[in-house]
Structure 1
């Protein structure tokens, strides 16, 4: 037998070895994650339920899924142990306060340019702020066109008739 005939078998065995090695590594990481669970941790089960760990045993976990709801799960049914911020964001809708972690963005650009001009100085120099807000709902209902829109549509209809009127004039 030559080396050329054995090469596909060697490659196949090598691929199988690499796949099983990565699968074992993922399983070990999952076991380590489940062993690090402590009471009070937020978790997600493999079924997609979010709960708080109340008690951890050798093979089981007691979860608190809400007021008066305690569920006993197998330890290997825990899909992920969540950080406190992630658990609060998903379950309670509480967003993490980003202002404490990052720089504050100023409302005006004067502090970014290096000049010490304040907003009061800008108003005194004649710069007016532009109102980019929406008009009040009382001014114009959304389903009724304004008078300007109606007259503009009438003008475009008249111009279209005039341009088409060339064929009628003949």
Structure 2
């Protein structure tokens, strides 16, 4: 056989080997992350819910999702085990004492809100319409309103 005919098969087998290897590494990392869970640890489920671990068994975890509210989840449903500082920042809004860390807002409202004491300024956007046409439109609206009032007065008599 010629080496050129075997080359596509060799490349295919090599690609499959690399893909399975990376998948096994991800599974191993997820398993070690789930093994770090202890009672009192903050976690995020794969559904995005934040909770505190109360008990850990072989295949399941008892989570406290709110004060006094407990739920049993499969260990595979835990998406991330969070550090205490991160969990407290997200769930309780408690910032750490590290003042060097950048402050990132939870939403973009800080980018659009006016500073205190500033009146929100309304901006008109020029859409390229003719102002004379706008004036005619306003006059037509006023005329229709006046006609409606007169019709209402005629109906009342």
* 2:22 equivalent to 1:14: no
Aligned to 2:107: none
The Cα shift of 1:74 comes to: 0.4
Measure, in 1, the Cα distance between the counterparts of 2:117 and 2:69: 47
Measure, in 1, the Cα distance between the counterparts of 2:120 and 2:47: 45
Counterpart of 2:73 in 1: which secondary structure? strand
Measure, in 1, the Cα distance between the counterparts of 2:61 and 2:41: 11
Structure 1 portions without partners, runs of 5+: 103-133, 144-170
CA radius of gyration, larger in: 1
Give CA deviations for 1:99-134 in whole Å, capped at 9, x if unaligned.
3x68xxxxxxxxxxxxxxxxxxxxxxxxxxxxxxx8
**Hey, which bits of structure 1, 4+ residues long, moved more than 4 A?**
134-137
RMSD in angstroms over aligned alpha carbons? 2.3
Counterpart of 1:89 in 2: which secondary structure? helix
Aligned to 2:30: 30
Measure, in 2, the Cα distance between the counterparts of 1:77 and 1:67: 21
The number of residue pairs the alignment matches comes to 109
TM-score scaled by length of structure 1? 0.59
Aligned to 2:74: 74
The Cα shift of 1:85 comes to: 0.6
Measure, in 1, the Cα distance between the counterparts of 2:59 and 2:116: 62
The Cα shift of 1:62 comes to: 0.1
TM-score scaled by length of structure 2? 0.63
Structure 2 portions without partners, runs of 5+: 102-114, 122-157
The Cα shift of 1:136 comes to: 5.4
Aligned to 1:94: 94
Give CA deviations for 1:13-36 in whole Å, capped at 9, x if unaligned.
001101100100110110111111
The structure-2 alpha-carbon separation of the partners of 1:2 and 1:32, relative to structure 1 and needing over 3 Å to count, comes to same
The structure-2 alpha-carbon separation of the partners of 1:8 and 1:67, relative to structure 1 and needing over 3 Å to count, comes to same
The Cα shift of 1:142 comes to: 5.8
Measure, in 1, the Cα distance between the counterparts of 2:117 and 2:71: 51
The structure-2 alpha-carbon separation of the partners of 1:7 and 1:96, relative to structure 1 and needing over 3 Å to count, comes to same
Measure, in 1, the Cα distance between the counterparts of 2:86 and 2:117: 38
